[in-house]
Structure 1
Amino acid sequence: MNLNGQAEFPRKLTALEIEQLNFLLPENIDVYNKYRIRIKSLYVIGQGRLGEGNYILGKIGDVPDLSYSSLPVFASGQIVYEDAKVQVTLHEEFDEQIEFSINIIAGDNVSEDSKVTGGWTYSTWKPGDKSPFTGDELRTVNIAEKKNEMLLVLSKVNHSIWLYEDAKQYNHIIPVTNFINELLRGNTSIDRTKGINMNYIFDNLNKFKDGDFVKALVQYNKQWHKVNLSKIELKPIKEKASLFSKIFRK
């Protein structure tokens, strides 16, 4: 720290920061382990746009590029210590820079000597596992014809959505609002007078058919390119028959 109490950059990640970020990056899963190796090769070059606890990794000589909004989340989770709870978020790399956030959301300061008592991360979840969140009920939808090849997961308790890709054993974290907008588009099974009320929508996930979720993901992915679906045999979407077709089917 300098005399003004501000962090001096560039600097290496601290041992505690590496430990906290590695919590999101299981070494036995290739896609996460590559990221684990990547972040250790970079330096903390400055703070991000969110201030304290939000930093940018990059190369020595570079400065944080804050001209664009945060990149999609690569991995996220919480670490529970004896006297604190910490939220850790790691974003996708862009132009050799990676944004990350480590924030205490409950309790006191954390040090290298603090004892970890629990925690959760999307990174280690796989089909058949219980929800990372206590008392939760997951809605899972197979997006592909092959079981678990591409599995959409919605958490009723945490109001979060992720997409498990079996080939990589990777969990893509889906931004909730954008996906829900696609899910509600043209859907008549939900009370539209409620608007985008997340509590209401996640409490009523059973009102949506699997095909609604498949269609929403396909449309969402066309705009945001979250995952490559070109080589996936998608589950067929059964469209509702129109009144006209019902009449002439008789």
Structure 2
Amino acid sequence: MIEAGYGNFPRELTGVEKHLLSLVLPANKPGYLLYRDLINDLMVIGYGRFGNGNKILGKENSVIDLQIPTSPVFAVGNYYYDDQSIDVIIHQFNNDQIEFDLGIDDLSFITDLNKLKGWNFSEWIPGQKLPADDKKVRELIILPDEKVLAFSVTFKKIWLYDFSSGVNTILPVTNFFNEVMRVKNIRDAKIALKPGSFFERLDTFTDLELASALLSYSKYLHSIKIDEKRIRNFFETGSSKN
């Protein structure tokens, strides 16, 4: 039997919680391995703003400030135990704390870790399809052997793959869509105010437009480290198609 204990804080992660978090943090990628090490040094210090399976990791005497906006998503995956679906979400390290969400508070029904089945975005590398999806991922080389921007129509996700860290940074669709509209100078409310249509219209956007949207968005998302001058040169010299 695997320990379950939940409501008393601060406390160590349970074996089940730690295992679920590790599933979306592949140890063979340096960027995710770093988060494994960070998590090992932290304790569960309380619930996040959504309660239930939403919790905060921090130092034992840390104080949770729910006035601070939730940090961007760092890793995400979906797993099953028998008929129970479990979404695993880890947010970026911020203010010496890590927010995570397993959707369920009491995980005591998980008694055999080997029965957990599922997949995550963290393990993806360029050239691969996503598990449980036969459709090809659209890939856009931002800088050769450095960064690739990827789009999944099936799962309606956008992420930026970094070769050195192996991390797939998940990008918020609405914010990215807004930058695409800005780049294309589209002001028609019937289009510009419908971010849900992004993936329906994905094939209409050129590589240059999508790359320009990323550059624009990166000015607001400081966790994305990209060299704007080199990227613009890469596209302007015709090194990239479209």
Q: TM-score range by the shorter chain?
A: 0.7 to 0.9
Q: Identity of counterpart residues, as a percentage?
A: 36
The answer to whether structure 1 residue 184 and structure 2 residue 181 are counterparts is yes
Q: How far does residue 168 in structure 1 lie from its aligned partner after superposition?
A: 1.3
Q: Distance in 1 between matches of 2:171 and 2:191?
A: 22
Partner of 1:18: 18
Structure 1 distance, partners of 2:8, 2:165, is 37
* TM-score, structure 1 as length reference: 0.83
| Counterparts of 2:134 and 2:92, CA distance in 1 | 30
Aligned-pair CA distance for 1:194:
3.3
For 1:119, the aligned partner's letter is G
Correspondence for 1:42: 42
Of structures 1 and 2, the one with the larger relative CO (CA 8 A, separation 6+) is 2
Q: Pick from 142, 151, 165: which aligns with 2:162?
A: 165
Look up the match of 1:244: none
Structure 2, unpaired ranges of 5+: 238-242
The reply to whether residue 194 of structure 1 matches residue 181 of structure 2 is no
Q: Is the 8 A contact 1:189 1:207 kept in 2?
A: no
Aligned length: 229
Q: C-alpha distance in 1, partners of 2:195/2:219?
A: 23
Query: Cα offset for 1:80?
Result: 1.9
The 1:21/1:6 distance shift into structure 2, 3 A limit, reads closer
Name the residue aligned to 1:141.
140
1:113 lines up with 2:112 in the alignment: yes
Q: CA deviation at 1:130?
A: 0.6
Q: How far did 1:29 drift?
A: 1.4
CA deviation profile, 1:176-233 (whole Å, cap 9, x unmatched): 1111100111426897623443443202211010000110000000122232213873
- Measured at CA, do residues 199 and 136 of structure 1 come closer, stay the same or move farther in structure 2, by a change above 3 Å? farther
Of residues 193-202 and 174-183 in structure 1, the stretch that sits farther from structure 2 once superposed is 193-202
Contact 1:48 1:54 in 2 (8 A): yes
- TM-score (ref. length: structure 2): 0.85
Secondary structure, in 3 states, of the residue corresponding to 1:184? helix
For 2:26, the aligned partner's letter is: P
Cα distance 1:139–1:180, how it changes in 2: closer, same or farther (>3 A)? same
2:150 aligned partner, one-letter code? V
Whole-Å Cα distance in 2 between the matches of residues 197 and 24 of structure 1? 31
Q: 1:46 to 1:190 in 2, by over 3 A?
A: same
> What stretches of structure 1 of length at least 5 have no aligned partner?
239-250
Matched, 1:125 2:87: no
Tell me, yes or no, if the aligned pair for 1:136 and 1:157 is still in contact at 8 Å.
yes
SS of aligned partner of 1:67: coil
Instruction: Name 2:65's counterpart in structure 1.
Output: 65
Partner of 2:103: 103
Q: Specify whether residues 190 and 137 from structure 1 end up closer, same or farther in structure 2 by C-alpha distance, changes over 3 A only.
A: farther
Range that drifts further, 225-234 or 171-180: 225-234
Q: Distance between the aligned counterparts of 1:222 and 1:24, measured in 2? A: 27
User: Aligned ranges for residues 59-98 of structure 1 at < 5 Å?
Assistant: 59-98=59-98
Match of 2:148 in 1: 151
Q: Which amino acid aligns with 1:219?
A: S
Cα 1:190–1:152 change in 2 (3 A) is: farther
Instruction: Tell me the secondary structure at the aligned position of residue 183 of structure 1.
Output: helix
For 1:178 and 1:42, how far apart are their aligned partners in 2? 31
Cα displacement string for residues 12-47 of structure 1 (whole angstroms, at most 9, x for unaligned residues): 000000010000111111221121121122111110
Q: Which has the larger radius of gyration?
A: 1
Partner letter of residue 33 of structure 1? L
Is the 1:82–1:114 contact (alpha carbons within 8 Å) kept by the matching residues of 2?
A: no
Tell me the C-alpha RMSD between the 2 structures. 2.5
Structure 1's 139 and 188: CA in aligned 2 closer, same or farther, altered over 3 A? farther
Query: Do the aligned partners of residues 123 and 194 (structure 1) sit closer, same or farther apart at CA in structure 2, a change above 3 Å counting?
Result: same
Q: How far apart, in 2, do the equivalents of 1:68 and 1:218 lie? A: 26
Asked if the contact 1:137/1:157 (under 8 Å) is kept, the reply is: no
Decide whether aligned partners of structure 1 residues 58 and 117 sit closer, same or farther in structure 2, where only a CA change above 3 A counts: closer
